[in-house]
Amino acid sequence: MALLEIRHYPDPVLKQKAQAVTAFDDELRQLAEDMAETMYAAPGVGLAAPQVGVSQRLTVIDCSGKEEEAQLLVMVNPEVIAEEGESYEEEGCLSVPEYYASVTRAAKVQVRFQDLTGTERIVEAEGLAAIACQHEIDHLDGILFVDHLSPLKRSMFRKKWKKIQEHLSEQM
Ligand code: K1U
Ligand code: ZN
């Protein structure tokens, strides 16, 4: 098991459309395990492979609370196949630390994906899990939550991001 380095905006890997996974092998299982460890350590409720520099369609999600048993969902080649309703909730991103903004998303989603053996599965998600699924699938398409902001809010983000970067580099 290993903790992986989380790439930050504006790393170009975060803007790439990730490649479909075709090999369901030990290397994929190891990457999923390392990503889960990295997500729990951050802490976060999700992580996509491009965030650790790997441009492949793999995500891990766990929206169970601190007091609950872990419920790790590993999704390979996930896609939203149905959506319902609308939510507008504040989001953060491990690749855009210290910045938070509200984003409009579907309130409920149905996601088709493959598990680590390549078996096709479907999951239905609502609440935080639905937001996490959409946030992580966006990462696989090279989209960050700040890309959903209005032009005005995005320009405010870019100004604020310069200050956040200065703050982060002081901490190092
Ligand atoms: O992909 C990422 O950057 C992880 C990100 C995903 C996310 C899912 C749902 C809403 C917003 C963001 C995070 O996990 S940010 C951290 C976070 O939201 C959180 C951390 C601990 C407890 C609860 C939430
Ligand atoms: Zn993110």
pLDDT in tens, the chain (172 residues): 899 999 999 999 999 999 999 999 999 999 999 999 999 999 999 999 999 999 999 999 999 987 889 999 999 999 999 999 999 999 999 999 999 999 999 999 999 999 999 999 999 999 999 999 999 999 999 999 999 999 999 999 999 999 998 888 888 7
3 state DSSP class of 99? coil
What pLDDT score does 56 carry? 98
3 state DSSP class of 83? strand
Ligand 1 atom nearest residue 128's Cα: 9
Tokens of 50: 């491009």
Ligand 1 atom nearest residue 136's Cα: 1
Catalytic-labelled residue, pool 27, 83, 90, 136: 136
Mutate to test the pocket of ligand 1, among 45, 75, 89 (most ligand atoms within 8 A of CB): 45
d(CA 142, CA 55): 9
User: What radius of gyration, in Å, describes the C-alpha atoms of the chain?
Assistant: 16
Name the burial class of residue 15, with classes exposed (0-12), middle (13-18) and buried (19+) by CB atoms within 10 angstroms of its CB.
middle
CA quadruple 63, 147, 50, 114: dihedral sign: positive
What pLDDT score does 10 carry? 96
Cβ burial 145-168 (10 Å sphere, 16+ → b, else e): bbebbeeeeeeebeeebeebeeee
**Beta carbon of 136 within 6 Å of any ligand 1 atom:** yes
**Beta carbon of 50 within 6 Å of any ligand 1 atom:** no
In order of 102, 122, 160, the CA distances from 93 in angstroms are 12, 25, 15
What pLDDT score does 66 carry? 79
Q: Determine whether 136 is an active site residue.
A: yes
What's the predicted TM-score (pTM) here?
0.96
